[in-house]
Amino acid sequence: MSDAPNAVPERIARVAVVGGAGSMGHGIVIACLLGSPDADVRLVARRRESLDHGLELVRSGPFGLDGAVRKGRIDAATRDRALARLKPTLDLAEGVRDAQIVFESVPEIVDRKVDVLREIEASAPRDAVIASGTSSIMIGELGRALAHVDRLVGTHWFYPSNVMPLVEVARADRSAPWATERIVSYLAAIGKKPVVVRDSPGFFMTRFVNLFAAEAMRAVQEGICGIRDVDEMCKTGLGWPMGVFELLDKTASFDAWYHAQEYLHETLGERTRFRRSRARCSRPATAGR
């Protein structure tokens, strides 16, 4: 398109993370702070307690900046410079008003994401790319509520999002090439490994991992092994950094995970086969924390 914004500006100087106080969102904040050392990063949350919690996670959480200093991955001066560029706010409109990229990272509930994306679109510049951090919902579905769906793409991060290199980039039918190119370029620049996939329920990785999760739940239900046994075998047998139940506990509440599976069941049908297994395993799995 002739009036398309510049796909890759000379410099990405302003990034916003809406929902940046959550388990995935705060890691995205850290990834942006450390990967783009000249950019201001806005952490946007709704409530003061959420904002304070997010700031605490960025600084001193399990994968936070203080820990990176202790482990020798960065020095104290780098941490301090990163924190100086972090701009927390409770005002979504203010947080995104001049951003070049806006990462949305709110829970995996269609209506909630749509509402937030509408707010972002109303306040962000027309040439800002909006990246929805969904693991299962089709970008085309989320984009139906937007006036300018061409700038919407999906970014499926993996926990902990500032550590794990992979980011699935979901390109919908109406996602503009310039928007996809800008996101891929930025993610690569901050040290991530973006892989572009076609827009589809669950993309690739969620479908793939959920096969393991479903069988793990069935194995526990049938008394084959316990929750901790499953996690231990995933780590020591498959070389995973964490087990299935540990992963679900850390990346989302089981309520949020349930919503995601309901969506996949509705869109993909019986091939997902999650209904019974999730309903019976949600409580005991949480005990694996």
Q: Is 230 helix (H, G, I), strand (E, B) or coil?
A: helix
Positions of E strands within 135-242: 152-156, 166-171, 193-198
- Preceding peptide of 160 cis, ω within 30°: yes
Half-sphere exposure (Cβ direction) of 156: Cα atoms closer than 13 Å? 24
Residue 177's CB is within 10 A of a number of other CB atoms, namely 12
Q: Hey, which residues are catalytic here?
A: 156
Whole-number Å distance between alpha carbons of 57 and 49: 12
The structure tokens 């916003």 sit at 16
Determine contact, residues 94/120, Cβ cutoff 8 Å.
no
